[in-house]
Structure 1
Amino acid sequence: MIEHVTHTGRLWRWTGGANSGTWHFLTVDGGAGEALSGTAIMRKLEGNARGFGSLKVKARIGDSVFATSVFPSKADGGWLLPVKASVRKAEGIGEGDVVEVSLVF
């Protein structure tokens, strides 16, 4: 079964890790986050769970469509969508901007 959700949130930056890398994320919570969580539970029950509890998604921000994975956030119960530099550049978005994303999973 294919799910489709839309979510609006603020783009934020995380810096850290072994190489002090920088990543930009959009937290997907609320109804969209609940839909992701429901799918994750079903895949786990079916024996199709992925590493770190991630889910493969196709994301659309503006005119940019990209394949990635979302990851459950232990901090707030939502899901973390990484937003690549190429997408941020193409869409003219950056840290702090409110962004609408459509997810298919």
Structure 2
Amino acid sequence: MTLEFSGNLWFWRGPAPHHFVTVPEQESAELKALSRLVTYGWGMIPVRVTLGETVWPTSLFEKDGRYIVPVRASVRQAEGVGEGDTVSLQLELR
């Protein structure tokens, strides 16, 4: 399964600060329907993400009924994006 969507890059200032993009409601519902088949624990879903020319493996986390995609500093730097930017992502379930 492959999903494509756009979303804003936001910064979480928690104990382990990080940047994320929230998966839209419809795509989150599709992921939730498949989550039991692909999760490796705690509801996390392994994916391969593409942002621009950069591809990396990560896992989606559930937050407030939707999934969030962590975006590494190296990816943000390579693609020249930062907090508040709208980015287009492609997710491929692993």
Q: Secondary structure at the match of 2:82?
A: coil
Among residues 85, 96, 99, which one is paired with 2:73 in the alignment?
A: 85
| Bigger CA radius of gyration | 1
TM (norm. structure 2) is 0.92
TM (norm. structure 1) is 0.83
Match of 2:49 in 1: 59
Label 1:86 to 1:4 Cα distance change in 2 as closer, same or farther (>3 A): same
**Is residue 6–residue 86 contact of structure 2 (8 Å, CA) maintained in 1?**
yes
Determine the C-alpha separation between the residues in 1 that align with 2:39 and 2:23. Answer: 19
Unpaired segments of 5 or more residues in structure 1? none
Among residues 14, 17, 23, which one is paired with 1:22 in the alignment?
A: 17
Amino acid at match of 1:40: S
Label 1:56 to 1:49 Cα distance change in 2 as closer, same or farther (>3 A): closer
State percent identity of aligned pairs. Answer: 37
Determine the C-alpha separation between the residues in 2 that align with 1:49 and 1:103. Answer: 15
Match of 1:68 in 2: 58
Amino acid at match of 1:62: G
